[in-house]
C-alpha cells in the first residue's frame, strides 16, 4: 500500500472539514447574500423554508483542500482529471443558477449530457468493459461511449433525486467518498484518493448543520456535481485498474438502487418521471411516521454495510465476489419488503 504526503492524508482534510463547518454555518445566516430558501410544497418532506446552498460549502472547501494538495506535488493532474474537474465546475455553476433562478428541466438535462460527453470524448473517460464474476471482463464494443454517457448522467441525476431528506446526501457523500478514498489509497491512485477524501471531509463539516433537523440543505449546487463526480471516479477507477465497476456500484447502492427502482416503478405506472414526487423508499419511510432522524440513521447503517461489502468484493475471489452481489440483492429485497410492511402497519 502506497504512502501519500501528510498534507493529503491529515492536514488538508482537517482544513476542509473546519472550513466547510464554518462556511455552512455562515450560509445558514439570513443576512448571507447566498441565503437562498427552499420553500416547502406538496412534494417535499420539510415544513419550513430552509436555505439550500450548503453544497457550496462542500465544494468550495473541497476545492481549497485540493489546491493545498496540488501545491504539495502529491497529485499530477492528467488530461482526463482536468476534464473531470472542469465539467464538475461547470455543473456546479449551472446548478447554482438553477437554485437561484430556476432552470427548465430539459435545459438542465442537456447540460448534464454535455458535461458527460465532454469527459467521455474530450478526456477519453470511457467504460470499455464490465467485469462479471466467472466471466471476466466483457468488452461492450461500440456501445461503450453512449453507455458511459448514460451512466454519468444517471449518477448525476440520481444523486439529485436522493437529496430530499435531512442528512441523507451529506451522509452518503461523507461515508461513500471516504470508502472510495480508501480504494484510491490502496490502489495507488492519488487523484481518486485526494478527490474523494476532500469531498468526504467537506461533507462531514456540512453534515453538522444538515443532520436532522436540518438548518440547511445541500441544494442542486452540491448534489449535481457530487453525483457527477461519483460516476466519473467510478469509471476512472475501473479504467485505471484501481477497482472494477461493481465496487462503486455496491458502495453507492443506497442511492443507486432506490433511485433506479423508483424510476422503473414510476415509468411502469405511466407517471411523469420528470416531475418531483415523494415515492422514493426513504421518502415513504418518513411519510409512514419514521421521521427524518430514524430513517437517515437506518440509511447510514445501510451505507456502512454496503461500504463493507464493497471492500469484501474488492479483495475477494470470484466465489466471494458472487456471494457479495447475492448478498446485496438479498439486502435490497429485504429493504423493499420492509418498507412495504411499515406502510401496511400505518394503514392498518
On whether 166 is known to bind a ligand per the annotation, the reply is: no
On whether 220 is known to bind a ligand per the annotation, the reply is: yes
How is 96-136 classified by DSSP, letter by letter?
HHHHHH---HHHHHHHHHHHHHIIIIIS-----EEEETTTE
b/e per residue 61-82 (b: at least 16 CB within 10 A):
bbbbbbebbbeeebbeeeebbe
Q: What is the dihedral of CA 134, 233, 12, 165, to 10 degrees?
A: -100
DSSP state at residue 51: E
Q: Are the beta carbons of 203 and 174 closer than 8 angstroms?
A: yes
> Cell numbers 402497519 label which residue?
345
* Binding-site annotation, residues: 160, 220
Annotated binding site for Mg(2+): 160, 220
Amino acid at each position: 500500500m502506497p504512502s501519500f504526503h501528510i498534507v493529503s492524508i491529515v492536514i488538508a482534510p482537517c482544513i476542509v472539514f473546519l472550513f466547510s463547518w464554518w462556511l455552512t454555518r455562515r450560509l445558514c445566516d439570513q443576512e448571507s447574500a447566498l441565503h437562498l430558501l427552499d420553500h416547502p410544497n406538496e412534494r417535499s418532506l420539510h415544513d419550513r423554508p430552509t436555505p439550500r446552498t450548503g453544497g457550496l460549502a462542500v465544494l468550495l472547501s473541497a476545492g481549497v483542500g485540493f489546491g493545498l494538495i496540488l501545491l504539495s506535488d502529491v497529485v499530477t493532474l492528467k488530461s482526463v482529471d482536468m476534464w473531470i474537474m472542469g465539467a464538475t465546475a461547470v455543473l456546479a455553476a449551472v446548478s447554482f443558477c438553477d437554485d437561484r433562478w430556476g432552470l427548465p428541466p430539459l435545459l438542465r438535462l442537456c447540460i448534464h449530457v454535455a458535461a458527460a460527453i465532454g469527459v467521455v470524448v474530450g478526456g477519453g473517460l470511457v467504460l470499455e468493459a464490465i467485469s462479471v464474476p466467472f466471466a471476466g471482463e466483457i468488452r461492450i464494443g461500440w456501445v461503450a461511449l453512449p453507455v458511459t454517457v448514460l451512466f454519468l448522467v444517471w449518477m448525476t441525476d440520481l444523486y439529485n433525486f436522493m437529496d430530499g431528506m435531512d442528512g441523507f446526501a451529506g451522509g452518503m457523500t461523507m461515508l461513500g467518498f471516504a470508502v472510495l478514498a480508501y480504494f484510491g489509497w490502496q490502489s495507488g491512485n492519488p487523484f481518486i484518493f485526494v478527490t474523494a477524501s476532500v469531498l468526504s471531509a467537506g461533507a462531514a463539516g456540512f453534515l453538522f448543520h444538515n443532520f436532522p433537523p436540518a438548518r440547511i440543505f445541500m441544494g442542486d449546487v452540491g448534489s449535481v456535481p457530487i453525483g457527477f463526480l461519483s460516476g466519473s471516479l467510478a469509471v476512472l477507477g475501473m479504467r485505471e485498474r484501481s477497482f472494477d465497476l461493481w465496487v462503486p456500484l455496491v458502495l453507492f447502492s443506497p442511492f443507486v438502487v432506490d433511485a433506479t427502482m423508483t424510476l422503473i416503478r414510476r415509468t411502469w405506472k405511466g407517471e411523469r418521471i420528470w416531475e418531483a414526487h415523494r415515492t422514493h423508499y426513504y421518502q415513504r419511510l418518513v411519510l409512514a411516521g419514521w421521521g427524518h432522524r430514524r430513517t437517515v440513521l437506518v440509511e447510514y447503517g445501510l451505507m456502512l454495510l454496503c461500504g463493507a461489502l464493497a471492500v469484501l468484493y474488492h479483495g475477494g475471489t470470484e466465489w466471494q465476489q458472487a456471494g457479495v452481489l447475492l448478498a446485496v440483492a438479498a439486502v435490497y429485497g429485504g429493504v423493499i419488503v420492509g418498507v412495504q410492511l411499515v406502510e401496511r402497519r400505518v394503514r392498518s
